[in-house]
Protein backbone atom coordinates (compact mmCIF):
# COMPACT_ATOMS: atom_id res chain seq x y z
CA UNK A 1 0.00 0.00 0.00
CA UNK A 2 1.53 3.31 -1.05
CA UNK A 3 -0.58 5.44 1.32
CA UNK A 4 -0.26 5.26 5.10
CA UNK A 5 -3.00 3.09 6.57
CA UNK A 6 -5.66 4.67 8.78
CA UNK A 7 -7.28 1.96 10.91
CA UNK A 8 -10.73 2.55 12.36
CA UNK A 9 -11.93 0.16 15.06
CA UNK A 10 -15.47 -0.66 16.13
CA UNK A 11 -14.94 1.38 19.31
CA UNK A 12 -13.73 4.42 17.39
CA UNK A 13 -16.65 4.27 14.97
CA UNK A 14 -19.13 3.81 17.82
CA UNK A 15 -17.73 6.82 19.68
CA UNK A 16 -17.84 8.88 16.49
CA UNK A 17 -21.51 8.02 15.94
CA UNK A 18 -22.23 8.96 19.56
CA UNK A 19 -20.51 12.30 19.02
CA UNK A 20 -22.90 12.95 16.11
CA UNK A 21 -26.00 11.99 18.11
CA UNK A 22 -27.27 15.53 18.83
CA UNK A 23 -27.07 16.51 15.14
CA UNK A 24 -28.60 13.24 13.96
CA UNK A 25 -31.50 13.60 16.40
CA UNK A 26 -32.23 17.09 15.04
CA UNK A 27 -32.55 15.64 11.53
CA UNK A 28 -35.49 13.43 12.66
CA UNK A 29 -34.52 10.56 10.36
CA UNK A 30 -37.27 8.06 9.73
CA UNK A 31 -34.82 5.24 9.01
CA UNK A 32 -31.13 4.35 9.08
CA UNK A 33 -30.31 2.42 5.89
CA UNK A 34 -27.09 0.49 5.48
CA UNK A 35 -25.58 -0.66 2.19
CA UNK A 36 -24.59 -4.30 2.64
CA UNK A 37 -22.16 -5.19 3.92
CA UNK A 38 -19.83 -2.34 4.89
CA UNK A 39 -22.63 0.09 5.69
CA UNK A 40 -24.53 -2.34 7.91
CA UNK A 41 -22.51 -1.86 11.14
CA UNK A 42 -22.74 1.92 10.85
CA UNK A 43 -26.48 1.80 10.16
CA UNK A 44 -26.96 -0.33 13.28
CA UNK A 45 -24.86 2.07 15.37
CA UNK A 46 -26.94 4.99 14.11
CA UNK A 47 -30.15 3.10 14.85
CA UNK A 48 -29.09 2.51 18.45
CA UNK A 49 -27.94 6.13 18.84
CA UNK A 50 -31.12 7.82 17.61
CA UNK A 51 -33.80 5.17 17.80
CA UNK A 52 -34.57 5.11 14.07
CA UNK A 53 -35.53 1.77 12.52
CA UNK A 54 -32.77 0.09 10.54
CA UNK A 55 -33.01 -1.29 7.01
CA UNK A 56 -30.60 -2.43 4.30
CA UNK A 57 -29.89 -2.18 0.59
CA UNK A 58 -28.02 -4.74 -1.49
CA UNK A 59 -25.86 -3.47 -4.35
CA UNK A 60 -24.56 -5.52 -7.27
CA UNK A 61 -21.48 -3.74 -8.61
CA UNK A 62 -21.24 -5.43 -12.05
CA UNK A 63 -24.84 -4.52 -12.95
CA UNK A 64 -25.15 -1.45 -10.70
CA UNK A 65 -28.45 -2.86 -9.50
CA UNK A 66 -29.89 -1.74 -6.14
CA UNK A 67 -32.29 -3.96 -4.18
CA UNK A 68 -34.31 -3.32 -1.03
CA UNK A 69 -33.02 -6.02 1.35
CA UNK A 70 -35.26 -5.75 4.40
CA UNK A 71 -38.33 -7.58 5.67
CA UNK A 72 -40.32 -4.37 6.09
CA UNK A 73 -41.44 -2.09 3.28
CA UNK A 74 -39.68 1.02 2.06
CA UNK A 75 -40.50 4.09 4.19
CA UNK A 76 -43.34 6.22 2.79
CA UNK A 77 -42.49 9.03 0.31
CA UNK A 78 -41.29 12.20 1.99
CA UNK A 79 -39.45 10.34 4.78
CA UNK A 80 -35.96 11.60 5.53
CA UNK A 81 -33.49 8.71 5.72
CA UNK A 82 -29.79 8.39 6.49
CA UNK A 83 -27.92 6.20 3.99
CA UNK A 84 -24.82 4.58 5.55
CA UNK A 85 -21.73 3.12 3.85
CA UNK A 86 -18.23 2.40 5.10
CA UNK A 87 -16.40 4.64 2.62
CA UNK A 88 -17.34 7.05 -0.13
CA UNK A 89 -15.28 5.59 -2.94
CA UNK A 90 -14.65 6.51 -6.54
CA UNK A 91 -17.30 4.08 -7.78
CA UNK A 92 -21.05 4.40 -8.14
CA UNK A 93 -22.38 2.60 -5.05
CA UNK A 94 -23.51 5.70 -3.19
CA UNK A 95 -24.66 7.45 -6.36
CA UNK A 96 -26.85 4.54 -7.42
CA UNK A 97 -28.24 3.88 -3.94
CA UNK A 98 -29.14 7.54 -3.45
CA UNK A 99 -30.88 7.54 -6.84
CA UNK A 100 -32.81 4.38 -5.91
CA UNK A 101 -34.12 5.89 -2.67
CA UNK A 102 -34.93 9.23 -4.28
CA UNK A 103 -36.92 7.46 -7.03
CA UNK A 104 -39.10 6.14 -4.21
CA UNK A 105 -39.70 9.66 -2.94
CA UNK A 106 -37.33 9.59 0.04
CA UNK A 107 -35.23 12.54 1.25
CA UNK A 108 -31.68 11.19 1.51
CA UNK A 109 -28.68 12.24 3.55
CA UNK A 110 -25.47 10.22 3.71
CA UNK A 111 -23.05 9.01 6.38
CA UNK A 112 -19.81 7.14 5.68
CA UNK A 113 -17.00 6.05 7.93
CA UNK A 114 -14.55 7.92 5.70
CA UNK A 115 -14.02 9.82 2.48
CA UNK A 116 -10.82 10.71 0.66
CA UNK A 117 -9.48 12.62 -2.31
CA UNK A 118 -10.93 10.18 -4.86
CA UNK A 119 -14.43 10.01 -3.40
CA UNK A 120 -17.12 10.65 -5.99
CA UNK A 121 -19.46 12.07 -3.31
CA UNK A 122 -18.75 14.16 -0.21
CA UNK A 123 -21.11 12.68 2.42
CA UNK A 124 -23.09 14.79 4.86
CA UNK A 125 -21.38 13.01 7.78
CA UNK A 126 -17.96 11.41 7.39
CA UNK A 127 -14.38 11.25 8.63
CA UNK A 128 -11.84 12.93 6.37
CA UNK A 129 -9.18 10.35 5.48
CA UNK A 130 -7.59 12.33 2.65
CA UNK A 131 -4.07 11.04 2.05
CA UNK A 132 -4.71 7.73 3.81
CA UNK A 133 -5.87 4.23 2.93
CA UNK A 134 -8.72 3.57 5.35
CA UNK A 135 -9.26 0.09 6.80
CA UNK A 136 -12.30 -0.92 8.81
CA UNK A 137 -12.54 -3.74 11.35
CA UNK A 138 -14.60 -5.86 8.95
CA UNK A 139 -11.73 -5.61 6.43
CA UNK A 140 -8.92 -7.04 8.57
CA UNK A 141 -8.64 -10.02 6.19
CA UNK A 142 -7.50 -7.60 3.46
CA UNK A 143 -4.00 -7.93 4.96
CA UNK A 144 -3.81 -11.50 3.67
CA UNK A 145 -2.40 -12.48 0.29
CA UNK A 146 -5.32 -14.79 -0.47
CA UNK A 147 -7.88 -12.03 0.07
CA UNK A 148 -6.01 -9.60 -2.19
CA UNK A 149 -5.67 -12.26 -4.89
CA UNK A 150 -9.38 -13.07 -4.74
CA UNK A 151 -10.34 -9.40 -4.77
CA UNK A 152 -8.20 -8.73 -7.85
CA UNK A 153 -9.77 -11.72 -9.57
CA UNK A 154 -13.32 -10.57 -8.78
CA UNK A 155 -12.51 -7.01 -9.87
CA UNK A 156 -11.26 -8.44 -13.17
CA UNK A 157 -14.69 -10.01 -13.73
CA UNK A 158 -14.28 -13.57 -12.44
CA UNK A 159 -17.58 -15.40 -12.03
CA UNK A 160 -16.63 -16.91 -8.68
CA UNK A 161 -17.03 -14.47 -5.79
CA UNK A 162 -15.12 -13.89 -2.57
CA UNK A 163 -14.80 -16.58 0.10
CA UNK A 164 -16.40 -16.27 3.52
CA UNK A 165 -14.42 -13.97 5.82
CA UNK A 166 -13.32 -16.73 8.23
CA UNK A 167 -11.65 -18.59 5.37
CA UNK A 168 -9.08 -15.81 5.11
CA UNK A 169 -7.87 -16.22 8.71
CA UNK A 170 -4.08 -16.50 8.86
CA UNK A 171 -1.99 -16.82 12.01
CA UNK A 172 1.45 -15.99 13.28
CA UNK A 173 2.70 -17.22 16.65
CA UNK A 174 5.27 -16.30 19.23
CA UNK A 175 7.91 -18.94 19.97
CA UNK A 176 9.02 -19.03 23.62
CA UNK A 177 5.99 -19.64 25.81
CA UNK A 178 3.96 -20.94 22.86
CA UNK A 179 5.88 -23.88 21.36
CA UNK A 180 8.39 -24.37 24.18
CA UNK A 181 8.87 -23.15 27.77
CA UNK A 182 10.34 -19.76 28.54
CA UNK A 183 13.69 -19.68 30.32
CA UNK A 184 13.85 -17.06 33.11
CA UNK A 185 15.77 -13.94 32.06
CA UNK A 186 18.00 -14.26 35.12
CA UNK A 187 19.52 -17.45 33.67
CA UNK A 188 20.72 -15.53 30.61
CA UNK A 189 22.32 -12.92 32.87
CA UNK A 190 24.05 -15.56 34.97
CA UNK A 191 25.52 -17.64 32.11
CA UNK A 192 24.42 -16.82 28.57
CA UNK A 193 26.09 -19.79 26.87
CA UNK A 194 24.63 -22.28 29.33
CA UNK A 195 21.17 -20.74 29.05
CA UNK A 196 21.23 -20.96 25.27
CA UNK A 197 22.30 -24.61 25.40
CA UNK A 198 19.52 -25.32 27.88
CA UNK A 199 17.01 -23.63 25.60
CA UNK A 200 18.20 -25.57 22.55
CA UNK A 201 17.60 -28.84 24.42
CA UNK A 202 14.02 -28.04 25.45
CA UNK A 203 11.23 -30.20 24.08
CA UNK A 204 8.02 -28.68 22.68
CA UNK A 205 4.97 -28.27 24.87
CA UNK A 206 2.59 -31.22 24.74
CA UNK A 207 -0.31 -28.74 24.55
CA UNK A 208 -0.10 -25.77 22.17
CA UNK A 209 -2.78 -23.28 21.10
CA UNK A 210 -5.60 -25.08 19.26
CA UNK A 211 -5.31 -23.51 15.83
CA UNK A 212 -5.16 -25.20 12.45
CA UNK A 213 -1.42 -25.11 11.78
CA UNK A 214 -2.14 -25.17 8.06
CA UNK A 215 -3.22 -21.55 8.57
CA UNK A 216 -0.12 -20.56 10.57
CA UNK A 217 2.18 -18.55 8.32
CA UNK A 218 5.04 -17.52 10.58
CA UNK A 219 6.82 -17.69 13.88
CA UNK A 220 7.46 -14.11 15.01
CA UNK A 221 9.84 -14.08 17.94
CA UNK A 222 11.55 -11.48 20.08
CA UNK A 223 14.80 -13.45 19.90
CA UNK A 224 17.55 -11.38 18.24
CA UNK A 225 18.61 -12.14 14.68
CA UNK A 226 21.99 -13.46 15.85
CA UNK A 227 20.11 -16.50 17.20
CA UNK A 228 18.63 -17.39 13.82
CA UNK A 229 20.68 -20.52 13.07
CA UNK A 230 20.07 -22.23 16.40
CA UNK A 231 16.40 -21.17 16.45
CA UNK A 232 15.82 -22.50 12.94
CA UNK A 233 17.56 -25.74 13.92
CA UNK A 234 15.15 -26.20 16.86
CA UNK A 235 12.12 -25.57 14.63
CA UNK A 236 13.44 -28.04 12.05
CA UNK A 237 14.04 -30.74 14.69
CA UNK A 238 10.50 -30.50 16.05
CA UNK A 239 8.44 -30.24 12.88
CA UNK A 240 7.99 -26.48 12.60
CA UNK A 241 10.71 -25.75 10.08
CA UNK A 242 8.22 -24.98 7.29
CA UNK A 243 7.04 -21.81 9.04
CA UNK A 244 8.58 -18.45 8.17
CA UNK A 245 10.89 -17.35 10.97
CA UNK A 246 10.80 -13.60 11.68
CA UNK A 247 13.31 -12.53 14.31
CA UNK A 248 13.96 -9.22 16.05
CA UNK A 249 16.35 -7.20 13.88
CA UNK A 250 18.77 -4.51 14.95
CA UNK A 251 16.87 -1.34 15.75
CA UNK A 252 14.37 -2.95 18.13
CA UNK A 253 15.50 -3.36 21.73
CA UNK A 254 14.64 -6.34 23.89
CA UNK A 255 12.25 -4.48 26.20
CA UNK A 256 8.57 -5.50 26.11
CA UNK A 257 7.74 -2.36 24.12
CA UNK A 258 10.60 -2.90 21.66
CA UNK A 259 9.84 -6.57 21.12
CA UNK A 260 6.14 -5.79 20.70
CA UNK A 261 6.85 -3.09 18.10
CA UNK A 262 8.89 -5.62 16.10
CA UNK A 263 6.12 -8.23 16.36
CA UNK A 264 3.36 -5.82 15.31
CA UNK A 265 5.34 -4.70 12.24
CA UNK A 266 6.31 -8.28 11.37
CA UNK A 267 2.66 -9.40 11.60
CA UNK A 268 1.71 -6.72 9.05
CA UNK A 269 4.48 -7.84 6.70
CA UNK A 270 3.47 -11.48 7.12
CA UNK A 271 -0.11 -10.65 6.08
CA UNK A 272 -1.83 -12.35 9.01
CA UNK A 273 -5.11 -11.67 10.77
CA UNK A 274 -4.24 -13.23 14.16
CA UNK A 275 -1.13 -13.26 16.37
CA UNK A 276 -0.66 -15.46 19.45
CA UNK A 277 1.66 -13.96 22.09
CA UNK A 278 2.95 -15.54 25.31
CA UNK A 279 3.63 -12.36 27.31
CA UNK A 280 0.58 -10.36 28.51
CA UNK A 281 2.37 -7.00 28.53
CA UNK A 282 3.68 -7.49 25.02
CA UNK A 283 0.20 -8.57 23.93
CA UNK A 284 -1.17 -5.22 25.13
CA UNK A 285 1.54 -3.30 23.27
CA UNK A 286 0.96 -5.30 20.08
CA UNK A 287 -2.81 -4.78 20.23
CA UNK A 288 -2.31 -1.04 20.66
CA UNK A 289 0.16 -0.85 17.74
CA UNK A 290 -1.94 -2.99 15.37
CA UNK A 291 -5.63 -2.27 16.15
CA UNK A 292 -7.08 -4.56 13.47
CA UNK A 293 -4.85 -7.52 14.30
CA UNK A 294 -6.54 -10.16 16.47
CA UNK A 295 -4.06 -10.51 19.35
CA UNK A 296 -4.40 -13.54 21.63
CA UNK A 297 -2.46 -13.84 24.87
CA UNK A 298 -1.73 -17.53 25.43
CA UNK A 299 -1.27 -18.54 29.07
CA UNK A 300 0.72 -21.78 28.83
CA UNK A 301 0.28 -22.49 32.55
CA UNK A 302 -3.52 -22.51 32.27
CA UNK A 303 -3.44 -23.70 28.65
CA UNK A 304 -5.93 -20.98 27.76
CA UNK A 305 -6.01 -17.96 25.49
CA UNK A 306 -7.47 -14.48 25.92
CA UNK A 307 -8.34 -12.06 23.13
CA UNK A 308 -6.65 -8.71 23.82
CA UNK A 309 -7.71 -5.19 22.86
CA UNK A 310 -5.87 -2.03 23.88
CA UNK A 311 -5.83 1.67 23.10
CA UNK A 312 -3.78 4.58 24.43
CA UNK A 313 -5.57 6.25 27.34
CA UNK A 314 -3.60 9.38 28.12
CA UNK A 315 -0.02 10.43 28.55
CA UNK A 316 1.43 10.64 32.03
CA UNK A 317 2.10 14.12 33.44
CA UNK A 318 4.76 15.14 35.96
CA UNK A 319 3.56 14.86 39.56
Task: Judge whether residue 1 has pLDDT over 60.
Answer: no
Domain at 169-308, CATH from 3.40.390, 3.40.50, 2.60.40, 2.20.200: 3.40.50
Q: What is the mean pLDDT of residues 144-154?
A: 81
The model's pLDDT over 48-100, given as tens digits with 9 standing for 90+, comes to: 999 999 999 999 988 999 999 999 999 999 999 999 999 998 889 999 999 99
Domains 5-135 and 169-308 share a fold: yes
Q: What is the pLDDT of residue 46?
A: 97
> Taking all residues of the chain, what is their mean pLDDT, rounded to a whole number?
92
Higher pLDDT, 277 or 139: 277
Domain positions in the chain = 5-135, 169-308
The model's pLDDT over 230-275, given as tens digits with 9 standing for 90+, comes to: 999 999 999 999 999 999 998 888 899 999 999 999 999 999 999 9
Q: What percent of the chain has pLDDT over 70?
A: 97
Q: What is the pLDDT of residue 315?
A: 66
Residue 319 Cα distances to 231, 316, angstroms:
45, 9
Q: Is 225 helix (H, G, I), strand (E, B) or coil?
A: helix
Task: Judge whether residue 316 has pLDDT over 70.
Answer: no
Q: What is the pLDDT of residue 62?
A: 83
Q: Is 160 helix (H, G, I), strand (E, B) or coil?
A: coil
Q: What is the pLDDT of residue 88?
A: 93
Task: Judge whether residue 216 has pLDDT over 70.
Answer: yes
The model's pLDDT over 166-192, given as tens digits with 9 standing for 90+, comes to: 889 999 999 999 999 998 888 888 998
DSSP 8-class letter at 252: S
Q: Which long-range contacts (CB under 8 A, 24 or more apart) does 48-54 make?
A: 49/17, 49/18, 49/20, 49/21, 49/24, 50/21, 50/24, 50/25, 52/82
Q: Note the Cα 13 to chain centre separation in Å.
A: 13
Domain 5-135 has CATH 3.40.50.2020: yes
Task: Judge whether residue 151 has pLDDT over 80.
Answer: no
The model's pLDDT over 119-144, given as tens digits with 9 standing for 90+, comes to: 899 999 999 999 988 889 888 887 78
Q: Is 316 helix (H, G, I), strand (E, B) or coil?
A: coil
Q: What is the pLDDT of residue 318?
A: 73
Task: Judge whether residue 102 has pLDDT over 70.
Answer: yes
Beta strands in the chain (DSSP E): 5-7, 31-35, 54-60, 65-68, 80-88, 107-115, 125-128, 133-135, 171-173, 216-224, 244-248, 274-277, 294-299, 304-308
Amino acid sequence: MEKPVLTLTYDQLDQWIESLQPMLLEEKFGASIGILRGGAPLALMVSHAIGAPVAFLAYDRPTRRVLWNSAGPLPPPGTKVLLCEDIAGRGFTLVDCIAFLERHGLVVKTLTGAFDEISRIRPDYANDSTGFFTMFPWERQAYTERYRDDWSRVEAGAAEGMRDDHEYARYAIDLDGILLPDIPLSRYDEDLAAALQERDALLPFEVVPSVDFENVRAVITGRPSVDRARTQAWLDRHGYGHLDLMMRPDGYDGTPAGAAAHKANAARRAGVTHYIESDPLQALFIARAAPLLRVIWWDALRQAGMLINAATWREAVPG
